[in-house]
Amino acid sequence: MIEELLMPIRNRLAELHPEISEWRKELHSNPELRFELPKTTAKVTSLLREFGVDAIHENVGISGIVAVIKGRETSSKKVIGFRADMDALPINEIANHDHISRERGKMHACGHDGHTSILLGAAKYLAETRNFNGTVVLAFQPAEEGGGGARAMVEDGLMDRWEIDEIYGLHNMPNLPIGNFAIRQGPLLAASDFFEINVRGQGGHAAMPHLATDTTLAGAAIIIALQQITSREVPALESAVISVTGFQTDTMAHNVIPNSARITGTARFLNNEIQKLVVKRMKDVIEGSANVYGCHAEFQYVYGVDVTENEMLCTDHAIKAAISVAGQERVATNIEPIMGGEDFSDMLKTRPGAFIFLGNGASAMLHHPEYDFNDDAIPIGSSWFVELAEQRMPI
């Protein structure tokens, strides 16, 4: 089965597969969080050095790495950027394989160990062969899982200093079969924001609610009213999610009406106009609902990552490269968007580009303690980057 799937893979990448899987397992055993990636970045830079890439720049966007590989010909000034994320998550891994995390409370539960290894594999191949006319710039990014690593690299000049024309990235997708790709033009992943509501009132004895203001009741009314925004005010063909994920009051006692209640949650959108509408209505509904019960509400809204939006032509380039690797029947070109968020959106806001999903086969879901990246996806992902470089910058 695997051999049949690997048929479209170039011989050299198939040959590198065991070596790249070893790097992946080493990264998996040593997960690091956010911008604090000393072991990961040391491994990445030492491999890039070994491959003989033309330049390595460290500490771009705090702990990001940028590497440059020039083609055999450089009469074209074209520069194609490839991005991989390097960070893990604060999760306790549940596994019985040999490469289980050695750091308690930290785990590569989103497969960024796989993404980094895939791009390293492509780098090794491209540095050996250089069958393109132009320049490849590799961006190894910190802090995708919160922290704004993509933004940090962009603000440190990633696109301008290395004159990147187009930028591409990939993410593994559990339960999409190995050897498959999935993508869509336009919005692929959602804008993902957070909010916190603090309801304040006059607490009191639970036996005499008429002498207090009921912050718990006001909080409950707010939670229900928020769901009516998505069902009654957002147009039916648009997408919006408001999820309340926390509700706490300042007392554990059965017989006390609390002074305050705290409500937390996340909101997701595929369209910035809908986001504006929802945020405005959230404020009105929260303040109004609190007032009805004689309480006061403070609403804090934190903008997280923006919509990951695939540029039209770059999506076509990404599809063409995927078809060359996997064949037409294994590339889904118009999937439904997913309401998860990705900070690659910060790179796509500054340059045209595209983001694609790569099948991880049957596996636990991303961010699950039993998740593991599937090494069988490595040569397929590395081949996609190689195809993109050679197809976008032919000799």
Residues that bind Zn ion (CB under 5 A): 110
In the complex, least distance from residue 329 CB atom to Zn ion, rounded to whole angstroms: 27
In the complex, least distance from residue 87 CB atom to Zn ion, rounded to whole angstroms: 9
Instruction: Sheet containing 191-200: give its strands across.
Output: 240-249, 260-269, 191-200, 296-305
In the complex, least distance from residue 252 CB atom to Zn ion, rounded to whole angstroms: 33
Residue type, 16: L
**Six-digit token string for 38:** 């000393």
In the complex, least distance from residue 171 CB atom to Zn ion, rounded to whole angstroms: 6
* CB atoms inside a 10 Å sphere around CB 84: 27
Q: Which is nearer to Zn ion, 9 or 138 (CB)?
A: 138
Q: Which is nearer to Zn ion, 110 or 173 (CB)?
A: 110
Q: Which is nearer to Zn ion, 65 or 110 (CB)?
A: 110
Q: Which is nearer to Zn ion, 110 or 152 (CB)?
A: 110
Q: Which is nearer to Zn ion, 139 or 285 (CB)?
A: 139
**Block residue for tokens 């147009």:** 235
Q: Which is nearer to Zn ion, 84 or 229 (CB)?
A: 84
* CB atoms inside a 10 Å sphere around CB 395: 13
Q: What are phi and psi of 23, to 5 degrees?
A: -60, -45
Q: Which 8-state DSSP code applies to residue 130?
A: -
Q: What is the H or E stretch that residue 66 is in? A: strand 64-70
Q: How do 79-85 and 166-173 pair as beta strands?
A: parallel
Q: Which residues on neighbouring strands pair with residue 191, listed in sequence order?
A: 269
Residues 17 and 117: their CA atoms lie apart, in Å, by 10
Integer CA distances (angstroms), 183 to 87, 187, 312, 326, 355, in order: 23, 10, 11, 14, 7
In the complex, least distance from residue 296 CB atom to Zn ion, rounded to whole angstroms: 36
Q: Which is nearer to Zn ion, 6 or 380 (CB)?
A: 380
Q: Which is nearer to Zn ion, 16 or 65 (CB)?
A: 65
In the complex, least distance from residue 89 CB atom to Zn ion, rounded to whole angstroms: 7
Q: Where are the alpha helices (DSSP H) in the chain?
A: 2-5, 11-29, 38-51, 112-129, 149-155, 158-161, 215-232, 272-292, 312-326, 345-348, 378-392
In the complex, least distance from residue 145 CB atom to Zn ion, rounded to whole angstroms: 5
In the complex, least distance from residue 341 CB atom to Zn ion, rounded to whole angstroms: 9
DSSP, collapsed to helix, strand or coil, labels residue 171 as strand
Cβ-closest residue to Zn ion?
110
In the complex, least distance from residue 393 CB atom to Zn ion, rounded to whole angstroms: 28
Q: What are phi and psi of 391, to 5 degrees?
A: -75, -35
**Block residue for tokens 């009051």:** 249
In the complex, least distance from residue 180 CB atom to Zn ion, rounded to whole angstroms: 18
Q: Which is nearer to Zn ion, 110 or 297 (CB)?
A: 110
Residues 364 and 373: their CA atoms lie apart, in Å, by 9
Q: What are phi and psi of 393, to 5 degrees?
A: -135, 60
Q: Which is nearer to Zn ion, 149 or 379 (CB)?
A: 149
Residues 229 and 237: their CA atoms lie apart, in Å, by 14
**Six-digit token string for 379:** 């040569």
Integer CA distances (angstroms), 246 to 201, 288, 296, in order: 19, 20, 19
